[in-house]
Structure 1
């Protein structure tokens, strides 16, 4: 992939000959620090190409380079990345591989707005009772404390069909561990405990605790 990326990039830009390709998460990259044309080039792999834009942005931030060019074999993934890139400044260049050359990707249409679903019965009251702010994002109801998610709703299967459940915790692993260790606690008690932990640790001067970030 490295040789291929160099060939594609040099077809549309002046890339310094000394720049080496590096294998990174999600693909292969070239970091060209040359003043006046500094750019991080990235060729997305076929494995989860939808993550490529995030990978190259992290790489560019690590090297302090604002120029970004990301190339895709998957035209659909390129279009979605091009749409997301329009929200960034400076906007990354998004390319589609066309044989041995590159062409600029056309941004995919904006996703249609939809009305958020109603909160499951009792969820708002549960959050308010624990001093947690209920919010809905991407169709999922969550509860936050100081901007950190501590509870979310889930869809669970029951003998009568599908229903709503809740998971308490900060992050997936905390939610899974909490379900095992504290599954016997009432939801109100479990949520209050998680919320209190965040309030204690998430403040200026809290040090290196993971919740302080």
Structure 2
């Protein structure tokens, strides 16, 4: 069945003129007043009757995702995963909108947080144009090893003692001070005293 064409009447034109020239609402928000016409059909008809461009405020209207993100950030600084959970918007959409807001200067990087011991550094965003927090520098291998060994010494002293014993044996072997006892001698005469 072919879609029925609805003619535009004088009342429709007057209503469209009012919304088009005197409000800053996006077309989608007043389209329901014009029956089942699409927002593109409404914009095309506005062009046809010579209404021209919309007032400037219309172009700066925030999208619903932007409004939700700004409302959540008004509570306090948050990371994108937390923003996604609080707003119900996918993380990908949140990140896309945050990148746009960041480039526009509407948000800044408040801090960097790390999720888990080996997790990634995530940006914590805050509203307003402030100074961005510096990204933490990655630790070198030496620093990571030192941190791991310090943690081992505190949390598992037995594993730390075994590691030290292995290192002592390896050093003695390298220097030629450590001579392993023959397996047959150990079997016949037992361990050396």
Considering only CA atoms, is the larger Rg found in Structure 1 or Structure 2? 2
What is the TM-score when the length of structure 2 is the normalising length?
0.26
Q: If each structure's strand is expressed as a fraction of its own residues, which one has the higher value?
A: 1
Higher RCO, 1 or 2 (CA under 8 Å, sep at least 6)? 2
